[in-house]
Structure 1
Amino acid sequence: MLFRPIAAAAALLVLSTPVAAQDLDLRAQVAAYVQPTNAARTEVVVAQLRAAGFEPTVETFAGGNPRTGELEGRNVVVTLGDGPREILLTAHYDAVKLRDGTMSQGVVDNAASVVGVIEAAKILRAKDLNHRVRIILFDQEELGLIGAKKWIEAHGLANVAAVVNSDVAGYGDTMMYGQNNGAQSAFVTRAVQELCAERAMPCVGFPVYPPSDDRAFSGAGLTEAGEGGGQDRVPTVSLGFQDQIGAHQMWLAFNGGETNGLAEGFVPRVFQLIHSAEDTIEQVDPATVALAGEVYAALVERLDAQLAR
């Protein structure tokens, strides 16, 4: 396409505006996670946190599952502030290996969430909080929430007041939130709803929401039969973003029953993308990543104030 000089100059002016610059930067940060291995993705997480002025800690663990065999994992942790209790803000950074043996780009699932969480950490760093806030970027979620489970084994949950988890936050302006993390999570759900109302932001609550690392916290201490251990359940919410139509279609797919009105064999678009070769950087909207960072920080700040009361 041929651009006249004045059009080219106008384009440069647009790109020089703060919003456009932020969009380019966030897209580049998400794209950096397109790596051949999850170990390489760890290096990206650590580098981005250091570039943002944080001093991350890498906690290694013996992970893997029967299919992979023993496999070392690495959780990356940043701690903000101090206090006897803490709020966790989490996301997983690992990606799945595809059937052909290559790695998924894993940007919708879940590099965009990771960058959003780092953006939230930048905001929270400047706040005067009552609780310690721990940012945890988990490895091996895709192998069975292993990184989250190993963190719980190592640190316990006695001091954890609440957990905010992000999974699949790559595009769209509609925030989805799970409502199936137990009665102890009701006040966290209310905080999400209040925030959505105050921001006049489209949000969809899911009575049944797909599992992510949140389940390791809300179900911690349960027996194999699903009984007991209720004292170890932590107030938790899992959040994600989609476009409005996709969010409602996904709600129907998980909560609408046999008469949900969806076409036979229908699969929500997001589930056609994740865990596939279609999960590419072209699917990511940096505006969503920025929005996620703002909303996550606001939610943590709200929970911090409510818990202090």
Structure 2
Amino acid sequence: MILKRDEPLAPRTSYRIGGTAEYFFIPERMEEVSQAMSYCRAKGLELRVLGGGTNVLVGDRGWPAVLSLERFKHTDAFGPYAKAEAGASFPAFVKKLADNSSKGAEALCGIPGTVGGALLMNAGGHYGEIGEFVKRVKVAEPDGRLVTLERDQCGFRYRDSDLKNRIILSADFEFPEGDRDEIRSRMRDIFQQKKASQPLHSHSAGCVFKNPPGLAAGRMIDECGFKGARIGGAAVSALHANFLTNDDHASAADMLELISKIRGQVKERHGVELELEIKVWS
């Protein structure tokens, strides 16, 4: 296992925001994940996992103990089945699924980050979610035990799961077989739709807020006049109001102040309390 001290976290996140990790663990075997957890328990440190950093806002003071699964990248797809380790690139895994004629892969295109992060939040969009295709997930429990959970033990739901208090290590999937050319064509269409309506090339963490039942968070934020609004280097995207971007050396404090203003105005105008989709480490 590799242990780094005072590791900068901002370069490891899509926001490019955040302080340092006092302890930064990079295990090379699954058993070393349990060792890192034990080490942190002994020191009274709360250990958090950083995957692709595409759905997290790290505080300006960083976080005491962080674990990266960047060495856990193996994926495979064969017939209706697929396997992936948690640190694998999710876009690369989705491409492999499409090449394997795995129907449903098209619903997952354009989602950044790692497989572990996608499982944790049950990533998806209008066309489907990753949890639909899970067979089982291997995790490290809070006490360090390595266990395998069947799909119905994972609690997949809209942008959430019961995996959040565990460390995801790998997963097995099952997909229906489809037509490879149709899947690839549909992926191109969906990606172009996202490219036209989302700031894919900006420093953002995707949608900041979950959509309330039957409502669209972005539309409500837009109706409050926030498109283009900014605090410090943090800005509301002119393309999609549910995306906040780091336009000019934003701090986490800038982002959190903008988030607070948006929530307050949406609550006042629409009577809706917006729930965060991104994870905030502060």
Question: Whose helix proportion is higher, 1 or 2?
Answer: 1
Q: Which has the higher contact order (CA 8 A, sep 6+)?
A: 1
TM-score, normalised by the number of residues in structure 2:
0.29
Question: Whose strand proportion is higher, 1 or 2?
Answer: 2
